Structures are given as structure tokens and as C-alpha cells.
């Protein structure tokens, strides 16, 4: 990994940690029973997972690929399905259906796409497409809202923008990873974008909590 990419990777990790700390501080100072505290817990858990993924190998032997593919990434997708479908769009049945579809996608991923030299990870690709549908629905929900003039006070605006830049923006990179790796210049540009968009996403998550605190 180039020095610049190493710098971005380390920055991404600590920005994740900063977002987790900010979210906890905001939730602690504004003790409520609303669902945002679960988003704070999610950020803490993801940061801990990233720390383990980066440094855990120094103490125990484990498969980093399996850890991310079967735990960290499904956790991320299922949480965002819940946040979008249940808490923002108020469609619990949609969450259940989309979650089941995503979990079922592991079957063809394991039996038909494992080792594929075209699609890097079918279940990740399918999960991202589901998330993209929810992102579009959320944008529509925000645009048609009667409170659209105050969109910058809506936490979901910042979260949706961050998810768009990171998960949706990097979808082609992870879907066609094996093809792009043959074009190293393009791969490096996209990998730089992956790291930078991750940094921006967690900065936006932090801003969503700070803004919510200022307007509470």
C-alpha cells in the first residue's frame, strides 16, 4: 500500500473512533429514549470491529476475510436496513423482507459465485443494491417532506449523503474488484476514493450528531 493510502487508511480508522466518541457524548448529554442511541452504539461497535480487524492478528489467528464477510459487513447492512426502513421510512415489513433477501443471497454467493473472477462478492453486491434502493427512497422521502426547507437539520440527510458516497459510490469497485485489479492505475484511484469517501462518511455521521445537539 502506498504511503498516501496508508495515511488515508489510518485516518479512516481514527475518524471512525472520533465519530463514535462524538455520538456517545451527544447521547450522554441528551438522555432520551429515542433510537439515535442505537446509532451511537453501532458506531462504537464498528470501530471496535475495525480495531480488531486491523490489530487482532497480533494476538490471535483468525480469517480477516471471514470476519468481515460473515460478521462486520452483514452487521453494517442489517443495521442500515433497520435505520432506513423501520426508523426513517416507518416500514417494518420492508426491513424484514429486505433483510431476508440479503441473508438468502449468501446461498448463491457461496455455491455459485465463490471463486468468480468477475463478481468479487455477490452477497456484498446484492446487499449494496438493496441499500441503494433504500437510499433512493430516503431521498424521495426528504424531497417530498413538508419540512424540506430545514433539510440541513435532518440527521438522515447527512447519514444518507455519507452512505451514498461510500457504499453506493464504491459499489462498482467491490463488485468488479478482480477485473479492476488488472488495471492498477484505475484500481489505485478507486481505492483512494474508497478510503476518502469512508472518511467523509464518518465526518458526516459526526456532523449529524453535532447538528442534532445544536438544535435539540
The stretch 101-127 carries a mean pLDDT of: 78
- Is residue 3 helix, strand or coil? helix
20 in Cβ contact with 44 (< 8 Å): yes
Residue reference for cell 456517545 = 24
Residues 55-107 have pLDDT tens digits of: 988 898 888 888 998 999 999 999 999 999 999 999 999 999 999 999 999 98
- Is residue 166 helix, strand or coil? helix
Whether the per-residue pLDDT at 215 is higher than 50: the answer is no
Residues 161-203 have pLDDT tens digits of: 999 999 999 998 888 888 888 889 999 999 999 999 999 999 9
86-92: Cβ within 8 A, 24+ apart = 87/35, 88/138, 88/141, 88/156, 89/134, 89/137, 89/138, 89/141
- Is residue 18 helix, strand or coil? helix
- pLDDT of 35: 75
Cα angle, residue 180 at apex, residues 175 and 181 outer, rounded to 5°: 115
How far is CA 115 from its chain centroid?
Answer: 25
d(CA 95, CA 84) in angstroms, rounded, equals 8
The H or E element containing residue 11 is: helix 3-29
The stretch 132-146 carries a mean pLDDT of: 92
Cα angle, residue 165 at apex, residues 98 and 134 outer, rounded to 5°: 20
How far is CA 85 from its chain centroid?
Answer: 15
Whose CA is closest to 82, among 31, 35, 139, 151?
35
Q: Is 166 exposed, middle or buried (0-12, 13-18, 19+ CB in 10 A)?
A: buried
- pLDDT of 194: 95
- pLDDT of 214: 45
Residues 16-65 have pLDDT tens digits of: 999 999 998 887 666 555 778 899 999 999 999 999 999 988 898 888 88
The pair phi, psi for residue 31, each rounded to 5°, is -70, 110
Name the least confident of 4-8, 30-34, 75-79, 122-126. Answer: 30-34
Amino acid at each position: 500500500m502506498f504511503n498516501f493510502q496508508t495515511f488515508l487508511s489510518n485516518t479512516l480508522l481514527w475518524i471512525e473512533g472520533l465519530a463514535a466518541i462524538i455520538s456517545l457524548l451527544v447521547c450522554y448529554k441528551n438522555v432520551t429514549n429515542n433510537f439515535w442511541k442505537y446509532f451511537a452504539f453501532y458506531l462504537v461497535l464498528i470501530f471496535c470491529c475495525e480495531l480488531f480487524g486491523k490489530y487482532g492478528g497480533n494476538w490471535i489467528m483468525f480469517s480477516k476475510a471471514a470476519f468481515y464477510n460473515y460478521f462486520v459487513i452483514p452487521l453494517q447492512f442489517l443495521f442500515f436496513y433497520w435505520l432506513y426502513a423501520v426508523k426513517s421510512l416507518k416500514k417494518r415489513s420492508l426491513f424484514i423482507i429486505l433483510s431476508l433477501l440479503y441473508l438468502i443471497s449468501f446461498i448463491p454467493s457461496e455455491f455459485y459465485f465463490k471463486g468468480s473472477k468477475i463478481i468479487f462478492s455477490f452477497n456484498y453486491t446484492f446487499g449494496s443494491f438493496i441499500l441503494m434502493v433504500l437510499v433512493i427512497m430516503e431521498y424521495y422521502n426528504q424531497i417530498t417532506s413538508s419540512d424540506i426547507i430545514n433539510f440541513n437539520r435532518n440527521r438522515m440527510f447527512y447519514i444518507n449523503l455519507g452512505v451514498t458516497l461510500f457504499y453506493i459510490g464504491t459499489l462498482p469497485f467491490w463488485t468488479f474488484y478482480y477485473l479492476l485489479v488488472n488495471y492498477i492505475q484505475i484500481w489505485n484511484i478507486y481505492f483512494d476514493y474508497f478510503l476518502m469517501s469512508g472518511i467523509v462518511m464518518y465526518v458526516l455521521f459526526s456532523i449529524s450528531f453535532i447538528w442534532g445537539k445544536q438544535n435539540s
